[in-house]
Amino acid sequence: AGRPLSGRVALVTGASSGIGEATAVALARAGAAVAVGARRADRLSALAERLRGEGARVLALDLDVTDEASCRAAVARTRADLGGLDVLVNNAGVMLLGTIVGADVEDWRRMMATNVLGPMYTTHAAIDGMLEQGSGDVVNVSSVAGRTARKGAGVYNASKWAVNAFSESLRQEVTTRGVRVSLVEPGAVATELTDHITQPEAKAATQQMVGGMTPLQAEDVARAIVYVVSQPRHVAVNEVLVRPTDQE
């Protein structure tokens, strides 16, 4: 009691590392009960154990956001086990940077399935309940890449532009019914995100770019997400762009 999110239930996708993990920690410390979803169950159970040690209510969920049934089951289990769902943080994502010319098209399928269809599935599963209770928050983690397209990031850009369009359209649909829809758009954050890039030149260039600055830490982005969902109900923070000060 007394904490800004006590009594609220959150579901964070991609909570096994990076921004999602830091967000789950920050939401729990703000008083929320938190469901954490991802594919790496070992990481999630370690996180859940840590948060329970701090007195939080936590539910670890096997979740593959590219699978619609998995998304529906995660939302249903959150409601059943934690007693509701007030805050959905769509954070799971992959950034398989590289040129369009010569790309492995499998990278494109993974990005579009994870970054675009994933948040669509979870949102579709969660939104009816939020509308019925007349309140809720959907926070979509997009990127600077959702606002500015660059050479070498084409399909990642396309995936995040899609997230922005989906968010704004949904916002107009549901905002007068008490459901807030927000975009959080980080610049470079020190996480595992670049580890999965398959084009060697793109991976080297990105890691060099991040290495040349003081990047954001995952906790910096988590703080922005807690800020968004802790506002009084009449305040909708629609969009937050957070870059490292060093990032041009």
Judged by CB under 6 A, which stretch of 74-82, 120-128, 191-199, 232-240 contacts ligand NDP?
A: 191-199
- Binding residues for ligand NDP restricted to 112-131, rule: CB under 6 A: 114
**Toward ligand NDP, which CB reaches closer, 13 or 167?**
13
Instruction: Let me know: does 209 contact 188? Beta carbons within 8 Å.
Output: yes
Could you tell me the two tokens for 127?
Answer: 């939104």
Question: Taking Cα atoms as reference points, which of 105, 130, 115 lies closest to residue 199?
Answer: 105
In the range 202-231, which residues lie near ligand NDP by CB under 6 A?
218
- Least separation in angstroms between CB 21 and ligand NDP: 7
**What is the C-alpha separation between 127 and 119, in angstroms, rounded?**
12
Which segment (77-85, 89-97, 126-134, 197-205) binds ligand NDP by CB under 6 A? 89-97
| CA gap 221, 99 in Å, rounded | 28
39 binds ligand NDP (CB under 6 A): yes
Q: How far, in Å, CA of 159 to CA of 23, rounded?
A: 22
**Rule CB under 6 A: is residue 93 a binding residue for ligand NDP?**
yes
Element (H, E) at 134: none
Beta strands in 144-232 (DSSP E): 179-186
Active site residue 227: no
Q: What is d(CA 26, CA 223) in angstroms, rounded to the nearest whole number?
A: 7
Helix axes 154-174, 118-133, angle to 10 degrees: 10
**Which among 11-19, 54-62, 147-155, 236-244 is the span making contact with ligand NDP, rule CB under 6 A?**
11-19
Out of 191, 199, 226, 230, the residue judged to bind ligand NDP by CB under 6 A = 191
Catalytic residue among 108, 156, 161, 166: 156
Of 15, 96, 5, 109, give the one whose Cα is nearest residue 59: 15
**Residue 192 burial (10 A CB sphere; 0-12, 13-18, 19+):** exposed
Among 193, 224, 226, 237, binds ligand NDP (CB under 6 A): 193
Binding residue (CB under 6 A) for ligand NDP from 8, 9, 11, 20 = 20
Task: Check binding of 192 to ligand NDP (CB under 6 A).
Answer: yes
Amino acid at 11: L
- 46-85 mask for ligand NDP (x: CB under 6 A)? -----------------xxxx-------------------
Binding site for ligand NDP (CB under 6 A): 13-20, 38-40, 63-66, 91-95, 114, 141, 143, 186, 188-189, 191-193, 218
Q: Just list the catalytic residues.
A: 156
